[in-house]
Amino acid sequence: MARSAFTLAALASAAVPGLEVDHAGQVADPDYDAAVLGGADGRAWLVRVPRTRSADTRLRAELARLRRQGWAQDKGEMVLSIHAFAAPVFDTRSEMVAALSVPFLAGTDPDRMEDIRLATIATARALTTAIPGPVAR
């Protein structure tokens, strides 16, 4: 049985301290129960829960790859015409405390995309270096 957007919002609210969801919309995906959540703070969250063992295996492999790689690419998953690169920002305990996302339009020249990717990674690293201590939660 598919989980509703409201069920996924409840799961996300339980998993993410301080997350207050003010709206949720179902996302059609054959392999995942998925929803886009709007937080009271204006942030958007994509929640995906695998429906099958093979989808779970693929999701776990994707997360492991992203951790090794140190950056992620959105190829229009939320809005087809908007792509983005993102990189994590860490505090002095090496805990991820934020992420930097730099969006650009689909169809951007590949050389320019590489410039954006490298700048995203460098800026996230600079932010990591600039954090003076542990970030309180």
Across-strand partners of 13?
A: none
The whole-angstrom distance between residue 92's C-alpha and the CA centroid of its chain comes to: 22
pTM above 0.85, yes or no: no
pLDDT tens string 89-120: 999 998 888 889 999 999 999 999 999 999 99
Reading the block at residue 63, the tokens are: 């997360």
Residues with Cβ within 8 Å of 40's Cβ and at least 6 positions away in sequence, in order, are: 20, 21, 22
Domains and CATH numbers, the chain: 1-69 (no CATH), 70-132 (3.30.450.40)
Q: What is the pLDDT of residues 15-51, one digit of tens each?
A: 888 899 999 999 888 899 999 999 888 888 889 899 9
Q: Quick one: tokens of 92?
A: 């002095």
Burial class (CB in 10 A: 0-12, 13-18, 19+), 100: buried
Q: Determine the 3-state secondary structure of 136 from DSSP.
A: coil
